[in-house]
Structure 1
């Protein structure tokens, strides 16, 4: 990239004293928030270099820092060099005159401090003579000389604007000399830009308004002091057109209404400048708000992705626990002598979670001493056989031909996508009574031949013979509790009764499921505190309206939070079963 390359793109970098800053490239705005100014400079340079490389065009990078401005050139190869001073002054002709001729540009020189100055122009020759007034019929107005100034690009007078650069190394902010860094050219220090200095093609003592012939002393032109901060209006491409518009206010505006072309007075120019400043400030505020919104959205997206990764990792770990090979059949028993505590619902959903994750080999058995509701809440099958029918034909499983899975499938009910089966209790309470302690052991032995996990839903009488037989066969105890005080008290009674019968170890390793309810509110933290230290784990189960009607349970209709809670509970149960296997 040669020094004469003309960049086709521009970037603006603003670094604040508080350590923040921003980079504007086209319509994109990037916020800088590095640990220090050097880091912000490096990040700004990197973003502009990336843009130059992506577009294969050099970028003119205007930097504002510490109240100073400087101009750098960033090439597509990432090399950063000092931008050369350049003139953008359009050639403007004077007012129509029979003897008009182009005026020579004033000579340029620098003083001992390197500041650009304007040499004295010759005071003789036709170029230095103000253009005569060609509108003879316009009355001469007192003070008009102070109202008229040069008008850009209207075929009259003279107007020129250029970007003037100067070296002033002792005032340069540190950090923009990239010499010696890898991939950067070793060059002189950067240069400051004097914001929009105006040069006249007329004599430096005066400028002439086309078509009028009245001069305004050059001393009235308010040029920025060298090294002053660049006004954003001067670098805005709209300002050239706005400032060049004919006057609309005062006597100038009234004359323009008659067909003349007077430039605006300084007050009107200042008003236009302030209006554009307000517009730019509003646009920058919108850009900052948009940039903040994008940053906020990115942060939210990052947090969302982090939560998703955490959830996925937790899901993977829980599924791995549930899929544990236990080497032998395992029995999970739901107990609480209080009816309505949620034993049937919890038993069904634990069996469904096991079936879905393990891929089958799970049976949920309604072992109520009278008549349970597990069969009612489960999916229906082509038959309505129950545990009583299985027990009545238990002898068939004593033969080689009868000891096959299809024989068992005659008595259980398939649960479809949940990939487990239900062994329902009998509708006849008297017939159900035949499932005593011996009957329980017989059925349990048959189920163990074909199933890896047996989930037993017990009744409400801890003294019943088959209840005690179920406890004897249990590997993992689960105690569902509803928020009501009676359910909590019944759970404590159940635990005390089991401990009194020598099952302290089962109670100590039990898992309590604290199920929320819409109709029976309770203090979950207070309830959990009552069981703290008495059981292995206490897990909350959220309320789900899909379970509140007492109808058939459809797993896919549960809320995601409910499915997650039962997967967590099932993983905890599986971990307990794995520990039982190791012991």
Structure 2
């Protein structure tokens, strides 16, 4: 019998229609089927040990449904210190113990000095102007201007100008050191526009100001050898000088004249950020300063605010003045000003060139207190 051989199909070959013909289409159901699995409550689910290689769920990790970032989900304390660490004591018996290897904190007095030094060392965003005032001559305006400038420059660095804004015979130049020239604000005034230009540099001011090498501040002198009417400036001149000073200096301290009605004096008040009333223990000096503050209260709101925020410096110019005399003036100003600081008598303040470094230690401390009080008003 002839015909094509009947070759068996290999077992590994897949059926043409994708159905295994060797498997029945209908499966037989066992007569005793196993009972269906019942749901298990979550608290009775057995716990199994997972392999360390299996991914672990972490409650602190952000999920696909959690919009927070990894940084937002954790809090970390900075390694950097947010507060200034306090140095150990350097003065007195506490300082002696620290030099032997101990670590003793400063006394209240030493800490107060440090706090005042920090206050006067600050650099503010933008220039600041202080007007030193009293309507009576000899009340201590020039020494106050010089010593405040010296304190701010010594502890806060350069950029401090003492300016003699006096229509009469201002003596600021007489009580400070002269530079290599004799120029004054009268020579600087015609150059104000050039100094305010973009090409001007701070070194250009050396032609007009007198640097104090020991105290590190500059002085803009008036010309006291000329008569008052020859020195006279108008408010626009004050504006121009102040604009130049504000461009190149961070702190401007103005020694004023005695005429409170002078437009030049009033314009100075308009530029001031802080007022310092200088007075001695003499009754006429103290009364003139008090009347000035009361007049500013009535001038306008800005002047009234300056008067309320003012600092009064009471200098004991008379060596025979008693502590009761000083306290009488200090207490009389308490209701008129923000702060009142007393300065003890010191022979170095009486006459001649005035330097902060030449004062007695307790006088230096008093002027540091006064400058710190002014700084805290900015």
TM-score normalized by the length of structure 2: 0.69
The CA deviation at 1:398 is 4.2
TM alignment of 1:208-357, pairs within 5 A: 301=93, 309-357=107-155
Distance in 1 separating the partners of 2:205 and 2:229: 20
Give the match for residue 371 of structure 2: 570
> Among residues 243, 259, 275, which one is paired with 1:477 in the alignment?
275
Q: Which deviations, in whole Å up to 9, do the C-alpha atoms of 1:43-83 show, x marking residues without a partner?
A: xxxxxxxxxxxxxxxxxxxxxxxxxxxxxxxxxxxxxxxxx
The CA deviation at 1:304 is 9.4
Structure 1 unaligned regions, length at least 5: 1-299, 578-583
Cα 1:388–1:545, aligned 2, differ >3 Å: closer, same or farther?
Answer: same
> Among residues 293, 310, 313, which one is paired with 1:510 in the alignment?
310
Distance in 2 separating the partners of 1:431 and 1:364: 23
Give the match for residue 500 of structure 1: 298
Cα 1:302–1:415, aligned 2, differ >3 Å: closer, same or farther?
Answer: closer
> Among residues 340, 347, 356, which one is paired with 1:545 in the alignment?
347
Asked if the contact 1:370/1:432 (under 8 Å) is kept, the reply is: no
Cα 1:447–1:329, aligned 2, differ >3 Å: closer, same or farther?
Answer: same
Asked if the contact 1:343/1:480 (under 8 Å) is kept, the reply is: yes
Give the match for residue 526 of structure 1: 328
Q: Aligned Cα RMSD in Å?
A: 2.1
SS at match of 1:513: strand
> Among residues 216, 220, 224, which one is paired with 1:423 in the alignment?
220
Distance in 1 separating the partners of 2:96 and 2:348: 27
Distance in 2 separating the partners of 1:569 and 1:327: 22
The CA deviation at 1:500 is 1.8
Give the match for residue 82 of structure 2: none
Which structure: greater strand fraction? 1
SS at match of 1:500: helix
> Among residues 381, 385, 407, which one is paired with 2:204 in the alignment?
407
TM alignment of 1:30-429, pairs within 5 A: 301=93, 309-401=107-199, 403-427=200-224, 428-429=226-227
Cα 1:317–1:519, aligned 2, differ >3 Å: closer, same or farther?
Answer: closer
Cα 1:484–1:412, aligned 2, differ >3 Å: closer, same or farther?
Answer: same
Question: How many residues are paired up?
Answer: 276
Distance in 2 separating the partners of 1:395 and 1:500: 35
Asked if the contact 1:331/1:454 (under 8 Å) is kept, the reply is: yes
Give the match for residue 451 of structure 1: 249
Asked if the contact 1:350/1:566 (under 8 Å) is kept, the reply is: yes
Give the match for residue 232 of structure 1: none
The CA deviation at 1:519 is 5.0
Asked if the contact 1:425/1:432 (under 8 Å) is kept, the reply is: no
SS at match of 1:463: coil
The CA deviation at 1:392 is 2.3
